[in-house]
Amino acid sequence: MTDRYDRGMETRRAVLGDAHVDRADAAKTPLDEAFQTLITEGAWGTVWSDDGITRRERSMLTLALLAACGNFDEIPMHIRATARTGATKQDVIETFQHVAIYAGVPKANHALKLAKATYAEMESGGADTDGSRKGGSGDDV
């Protein structure tokens, strides 16, 4: 593995939590191994590991981009990550308000619905102590 991969795994664990990363790693197969390496080095080892902006700001940008592009499957994972990045519920509300104005109300509305459900799950104990979802995970990034 490369230094960028190692740095990416460290950042990925810090943002998503050990339980989430362990589940994703255990679910890795030859079919997606190269993809998992790509996202660990590229997304986590390069973008998320850069100190140009804070992890809080990266959380907000990521949530906005996911919602604006209609990539809703990863929103719950990144809402859970806010427990570790410092992005508050108010930050998330503000983020999705921007999405509503610049990318469309239906996208922001759906993202907010997912955020509400994920926060409720986290607050009810339906998430591991690190904030990741208990049980199987469809969020493998």
Mean pLDDT by 10 residues, the chain (141 residues): 94 97 95 96 97 98 98 98 98 98 98 98 75 49 64
Dihedral angle sign, alpha carbons of residues 103, 8, 78, 27: positive
In the block, residue with structure tokens 């804070």? 54
Two structure tokens written together for 39:
């996202």
Provide the pLDDT for residue 138. Answer: 44
Say what the pLDDT of residue 129 is: 44
Question: Which tokens go with 123?
Answer: 């607050």
Amino acid 134: pLDDT: 53
- Domains contained in the chain, CATH given: 1-52 (no CATH), 54-134 (1.20.1290.10)
The neighbour count for residue 136, using CB atoms within 10 Å, is 8
Using an 8 Å Cβ cutoff, are 53 and 85 in contact? no
Going by the DSSP 8-state scheme, the letter that residue 135 receives in this structure is S
134 pairs with which residues across the strands? none
